[in-house]
Amino acid sequence: MALEFRAAWDPASVVNKTRGRPRGISHTRQQLLSAAEQHFFAGDLGTISSRELASEIGVSHTLVNYHFGSRDGLVAAAVALRAAPHDVIALSRDDNQRIDLPRLAHGILAIWEHQEHGAQLVAFARRLASDDSSALSIADYIHNAVFAPLVEDFGQEHARRIATATIGFLFGRYVLALPLFADLSREEAGRLLVSMLR
């Protein structure tokens, strides 16, 4: 099952999808996202203003609020383009629409072990940990898109343990590169993460 699941995981397909807006409006939304994504790669997304982002594509800064609710909403959407946690949750559901913990663990690994996306996530996580100004909006997004579905399926206490184990594992293996985690093969890391989530 794990091999089947891994083959189905394509990190490039884990993106936000725009729904229900006319083409002209979604074009501006996409331009704003693209500009924010470029700053994500450059490492200064946490410091650039709505006005500066809008100016780069030649639109009013009020369109940031129109499309994303706030500058922080745009930041969260740009990060989600690289590896949307709510899509990881969705792809981890079994035939009964419950979150399957081994699938969840291998989905997390597929994203963080990806050659391109993994390095970007590590860099972004390090910036968040060093008091990046977008940390609060990302935390709010993670709470609603990830923690709430976990609570629904597993209850608050188990969901809290899953979240704690996942964050500890990700920081230990990828952000801090602690040998205890970083020296494990992907298969060993997968087994460890599954056992931690249970």
What are 72-93's pLDDT values in tens digits?
778 767 766 556 677 788 878 8
Q: Which residues pair with 99 in a beta bridge?
A: 93
Cβ–Cβ < 8 Å for 74, 53: yes
Burial class from Cβ neighbours inside 10 Å (0-12, 13-18, 19+) for residue 164 reads exposed
**Distance in angstroms (rounded) separating the CA atoms of residues 118 and 112:** 4
Q: What is the pLDDT of residues 155-180, one digit of tens each?
A: 999 999 999 999 999 999 999 999 99
pTM for the structure as a whole = 0.61
Cβ–Cβ < 8 Å for 31, 59: yes
Token duo for residue 5: 């699941």
The residue with tokens 């745009």 is 74
